[in-house]
Chain A
Amino acid sequence: MSKFKKKGSNELPAISTASLPDIVFMLLFFFMVATVMRDSSLKIKNNLPSAADTEKLGQKNLIMFIYAGPPSDSYKDRYGTEARIQLNDKLADINDIGVFVAAERASKREEEIPKLITALKVDKSTNMGLVSDIEQALRKAGQLKINYTTKKGSALK
């Protein structure tokens, strides 16, 4: 004759899953915020040199990127080991830079065009010959502001 009645079952109650969506959303938001967007997948090696006296690149939408370096391992068979230029997604030729600059300019508002900066992301093993070819092409296109993108650190070994 007990006051407390025995309940129907002895089973453990199911763990509430009501908070699962919250956890998932939290993770989702975190990765959304923390990931760096990479616009194009690289087909070349891009091990940047390091320099100590660097300035930060400003607004992301005012920068156009030119990559250069030897083709990465998976593209070696097709493109050889000679350093190449990459514009957006494609490996390109030095003559394509003019068209590339014009296309980038066309996609910007008029008052933004003089503020455009070209970031040169060049692998450290690249020959200067290719770099100066790029610079000559940029001069011809009238795109004079450039930035040699580097890693932070002392350049002296």
Chain B
Amino acid sequence: MAKRSAPEVNAGSMADIAFLLLIFFLVTTTIEVDSGINSKLPPDEPPKDDVRIKQRNIFLVELNKNNQMLVEGDLMEIKDLKAAALKFIDNGGGQSAEGERCDYCSGERNPESSDHPTKAIISITHSRATDYETFITVYDQLVSAYSELREKLAQKLYNRSFKEMEATYDDSKSSEFKSEKLKDKIENIKKKYPRIISKAEPI
């Protein structure tokens, strides 16, 4: 029997397969985006002299050089911080600067704690030797306390999630992309629970 040489494989479609794969990966890969906690520094101006803030409107968080935390003068574990912060912000014991009572707060209305979420200030002081990790953990807990309150209010007022509202606003594919109406809603919630976290200079 005669020996036949193997026929050559047609390589013409190889390029098509390659392009198919290329396009598939082009579409599916996402470049990793950094994420973190946004914050705003106070402007570098001399403070106005007669700012008086009542003691009950300040929630004092102190971190020492051994990474221990004092909240309002008492030692506290970091895992309990969020609950304490929620209780303080959402207390609504008095009136806002415009003389309104907090009608959306669900706190205890304790007259010894904060008057109104717009007046409640969380103040963090830390030592120079505090670890950055501890600070971020504490800061994250405080930020998430505010997020939880905003989330709750968004559910109550608009029956949707605050995170989802913000995402929809920035999503160019959604029908509410940069919509004025949605922006007003988001601003309204942010105004009702403003994130007031002050950082004092280290001791």
A residues with a Cβ closer than 8 A to B are: 2, 4-7, 9-13, 16, 18-19, 22-23, 25-26, 29-30, 33-34, 36, 49, 51-57, 63, 117, 119, 122-129, 131-132, 135-136, 138-140, 142, 144-150, 152, 155-156
Contacts and interface: CB of A to CB of B under 8 A. Distances in A.
A148 B36 contact: yes
B190 to A, nearest CB: 13
B202 A22 contact: no
Nearest to A140: B44
B202 A128 contact: yes
B201 A136 contact: yes
B2 A129 contact: no
A71 B32 CA distance: 25
Interface residues of B, number: 55
B98 interface: no
A19 B12 CA distance: 8
B40 A125 contact: no
Given A12-B5, A12-B6, A142-B44, A124 B39 contact: no
Contacts of B25: 29-30, 33-34
Interface of A (DSSP majority class): mixed
Nearest to A18: B11
B84 interface: no
B79 A156 contact: yes
Which are the 7 A-B pairs with shortest beta-carbon distances? A129-B128, A19-B14, A124-B133, A51-B140, A22-B18, A149-B36, A53-B144
14 contacts: A29-B22, A30-B25, A52-B140, A63-B34, A124-B131, A124-B133, A128-B129, A128-B202, A129-B127, A144-B43, A147-B36, A149-B35, A150-B37, A155-B136
Nearest to B35: A54
B44 A119 contact: no
B39 A148 contact: yes
